[in-house]
Amino acid sequence: MAEGPNISRVAALIGDPARASILVALMRGQALTVSELATEAGVGLPTASSHLAQLQAGGLVAPRKEGRHKYFRLASEGAAGVIEALMGFAGDLPAPKRAPGPRDPALRRARVCYNHLAGEMGVRLYDSLIARGHLVTGTEGMTLSPGGWDFASDFGITSGSFAGLRPPLCRECLDWSARRSHLGGRLGRAFLGAIEAKGWARRLAGTRIIAFTPEGERAFARAFP
């Protein structure tokens, strides 16, 4: 039965090198996918999956499904506090603090995530829609407000292009570089399509970079203040 104080259960979880690497990586505050955490810990994907299940059962991390990815973050302030106390004692104090996400500035600025706009521009679009009340969170997740529908129409998005389709219209999507949300789902795809249709930007072949033209960038800034 391996009795002992509860404290040992928690400590044993953190005591495995792979799990500790995962937790330290999550101390940056960002939510990370299972694959990213597997790389971070230097183990295979199945192993990471198993570790994350244990950490979740122990109340140290919490999952969040996002499309076909599964993001994990630290479960609570308390959990972060425990890790921090340990790092302080162990002398790991200068928290790794690596720059999150891709190194390439162009990728950080604007890139395609599945099929919608991500990166700084994506966050900006999302924030702008929220700030102006075009995007609201209802009981069934995110939806466009009436004003939002108007705005989308004006932007060149026809409601017919995705009427009646099951998959979620809007979806929050955790950003990769900033720990911010941006707009995913079918609506996010439509916005990216409209932006391309307007000639503001185009996808660079073979990469995930979305290159804005100088005028496109100015127009974008006007459209999403």
Partner DNA sequence: ATCATGCTTCGTTTATGATCGAACCATGGC
Partner DNA sequence: GCCATGGTTCGATCATAAACGAAGCATGAT
Q: Which does 144 bind (CB under 5 to 8 A by kind): DNA, its own copies, none?
A: none
Q: For the chain, give percent helix, strand, coil, nearest 5.
A: 50, 20, 35
Residues 143, 148, 154, 157, Cα dihedral to 10°: 0
Where b means 16+ CB within 10 Å and e means fewer, 163-173 reads: eeeeebbbbbb
Say which residues have a Cβ less than 8 Å from residue 197's Cβ, sequence separation at least 6: 156
Q: Smaller CB distance to DNA: residue 69 or 132?
A: 69
| 131 conformational bin, left if phi > 0, alpha if psi -120 to 50, beta if neither | alpha
Q: Which of 10, 58, 69, 198 binds DNA (CB under 7 A)?
A: 69
Contacts 24+ apart (CB under 8 A), 81-88: 82/10, 82/14, 83/14, 83/23, 83/24, 83/27, 84/27, 86/14, 87/24, 87/27
- Here the tokens at position 211 are 């290159």
| Residue 24 to residue 16: CA distance in whole angstroms | 12
Q: Does 20 bind DNA (CB under 7 A)?
A: no
Question: Residue 117 touches which of DNA, its own copies, none (CB < 5 to 8 A by kind)?
Answer: none
Among 10, 62, 67, 178, binds DNA (CB under 7 A): 67
Q: Which is nearer to DNA, 63 or 102 (CB)?
A: 63
Confirm if 184 and 173 have CB atoms less than 8 A apart: yes
Nearer to DNA, 44 or 147 (CB): 44
- Pick from 51, 108, 111, 182 the residue near DNA by CB under 7 A: 51
Tell me which of its own copies, DNA, none is bound by residue 3, counting a contact when its beta carbon lies within the kind-specific cut-off of 5 to 8 angstroms. Answer: its own copies
**Binding footprint of its own copies on the chain (CB under 8 A):** 2-21, 23-24, 42, 78-79, 81-83, 85-92
CB of 20 to DNA, least distance (A): 10
- Return the number of the residue (166 or 222) whose C-beta is nearest DNA: 166
Residue number, 31 or 83, with CB nearest to DNA: 31
Q: Contact, 167 vs 200, CB < 8 A?
A: no
Q: Which is nearer to its own copies, 88 or 133 (CB)?
A: 88
Contact pick of 20, 23, 43, 174 for DNA (by CB under 7 A): 43
- Residues numbered 109 to 148 that lie near DNA (CB under 7 A) are 114-115
Q: Which amino acid is at 206?
A: G
Q: Which residues bind DNA (CB under 7 A)?
A: 2, 12, 16-18, 33-35, 43-47, 49-54, 63, 67-70, 114-115, 167, 189
